[in-house]
């Protein structure tokens, strides 16, 4: 195998903006593009390979055929034929709904064995004054939660964060959150499309009708604990890997490169996703059969198969990358 690129899946939503298409260097006549699903194994939204001999095949077909060679033997044993991560770019022209996601155990019971959704955000761009909501700032219980949704005061107990490019937020299942207008974000998450929409500001959908809320379902999914901080702190380091999130679902690092950097993958029994947020360069994987390279530029995502023993990132001039794998 070789480094794989995929065709983006654009999603039109009521809160979508105009940043995704130019960021990715593509032309589209669609309005309100709020999401570009870069790599997805979600049923009905499976990504399609865009390069090389496997062009036209879906990620679901590849996982079923190549199994551990593509995703890693340990990963395949745990997740089977479903690709375990969903990668998105999100452009919020206006505020998204306030929402929460169930964990694995709750999702399995309520949604026919489905996975829950733990996710993370990496802020690519932020308009002046942009902010987002993540976590509780005041302690509430399920009864107060219900009252505050009903009387339109739920936002008063949520932690509000000003955002800047490079900010990282880790969102375990159960954490109330909302991306707000002016945020442009890369999202890495479990393969799950289960969202409980708690509150939507009385907004109408693209069909002119109120969007469905899941206020009662969300009540049992929420983590009501107040945490001291919700922003993931890290120190950027030029030309080195900087790990920013490590959880059972994904390990994510960022790279700010002016020079080539090689990552040893020999001890990692997992695929690696590489997301380019700025600049461009080359991604070269080495396996037992030799080397295979592919170019990468801003807005592109590349999948490195688990059979790779190493990967080298070589910037054209400079490049900013996000990588994720399953430890």
Do 83 and 39 contact (CB within 8 A), yes or no? yes
CA distance linking residue 184 with residue 122, whole number of Å: 9
Going along the chain, which residue ranges are E strands?
4-5, 9-17, 33-39, 85-91, 98-100, 119-126, 131-136, 158-162, 168-171, 177-179, 183-190, 196-199, 231-232, 242-246, 251-257, 261-264, 272-287, 290-297, 301-304, 310-325
Q: What is the pTM of this model?
A: 0.96
Evaluated on CA atoms 145, 149, 154, 158, the torsion sign reads positive
**Cβ 99 vs Cβ 197: under 8 Å:** yes
Of 197, 203, 309, 327, the active-site residue reads 197
- pLDDT at position 211 is 86
Report the C-alpha gap between 153 and 201 in whole angstroms.
10
Concatenated DSSP letters of 211-227 = PP--HHHHHTT---PPP
Domains of the chain (ranges; CATH) run: 4-232 (2.60.120.10), 242-325 (2.60.120.10)
In what order do the strands lie in the sheet containing 196-199? 158-162, 131-136, 177-179, 98-100, 196-199
Query: Which has more confidence, 21 or 27?
Result: 21
Res 322 pLDDT > 90: yes
Helix (H) or strand (E) holding 64: helix 59-66
Model confidence at 29: pLDDT above 90: no
CA pair distance 258, 14, nearest whole angstrom: 39
Tokens matching residue 91? 């452009």
pLDDT at position 38: 98
What percent of the chain clears pLDDT 70, i.e. is strictly above it? 100
pLDDT at 202 over 90: no
Spatial separation of the C-alpha atoms in residues 180 and 54, rounded to whole Å: 38
Q: What is the DSSP string of 12-61?
A: EEEEEESSHHHHHT-----SSEEEEEEE--STT---BB-SSTTTT-BHHH
Beta-strand pair 4-5/301-304: antiparallel
Q: Is 197 an annotated catalytic residue?
A: yes
Q: What stretches of 202-323 show up as alpha helix (H) in DSSP?
A: 215-219
Closest CA to 70 of 16, 4, 5: 4
Q: What is the pLDDT of residues 262-305, one digit of tens each?
A: 999 999 999 999 999 999 999 999 999 999 999 999 999 999 99
């Amino acid at each position: 195998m070789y480094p794989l690129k995929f065709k983006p899946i654009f999603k039109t939503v009521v809160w979508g903006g105009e940043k995704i298409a130019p960021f990715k260097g593509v032309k589209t006549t669609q309005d309100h593009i709020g999401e570009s699903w870069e790599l997805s194994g979600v049923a009905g939204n499976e990504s399609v390979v865009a390069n090389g001999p496997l062009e036209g095949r879906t990620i679901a077909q590849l996982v079923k055929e190549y199994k551990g060679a593509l995703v890693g033997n340990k990963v395949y044993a745990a997740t089977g034929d479903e690709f375990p991560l969903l990668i998105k770019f999100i452009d919020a022209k206006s505020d998204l709904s306030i929402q929460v996601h169930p964990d694995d155990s709750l999702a399995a019971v309520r949604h026919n064995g489905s996975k829950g959704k733990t996710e993370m955000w990496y802020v690519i761009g932020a308009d002046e004054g942009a902010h987002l909501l993540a976590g509780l700032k005041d302690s509430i219980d399920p009864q107060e939660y219900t009252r505050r949704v009903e009387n339109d005061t739920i936002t008063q107990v949520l932690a509000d964060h000003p955002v800047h490019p490079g900010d990282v937020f880790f969102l375990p299942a159960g954490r109330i959150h909302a991306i707000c207008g002016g945020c442009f974000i890369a999202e890495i998450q479990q393969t799950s499309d289960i969202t409980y929409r708690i509150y939507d500001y009385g907004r109408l959908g693209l069909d002119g009708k109120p969007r469905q809320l899941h206020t009662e379902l969300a009540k049992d999914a929420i983590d009501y604990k107040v945490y001291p901080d919700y922003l993931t702190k890290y120190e950027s380091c030029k030309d080195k890997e900087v790990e920013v999130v490590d959880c059972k679902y994904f390990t994510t690092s960022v790279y700010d490169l002016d020079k080539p950097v090689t990552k040893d993958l020999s001890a990692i029994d997992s695929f690696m996703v590489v997301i380019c947020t700025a600049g461009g360069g080359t991604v070269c994987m080495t396996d037992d059969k030799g080397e295979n390279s592919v170019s990468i530029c801003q807005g592109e995502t590349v999948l490195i198969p688990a059979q790779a023993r190493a990967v080298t990132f070589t910037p054209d001039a400079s490049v900013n990358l996000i990588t994720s794998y399953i430890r």
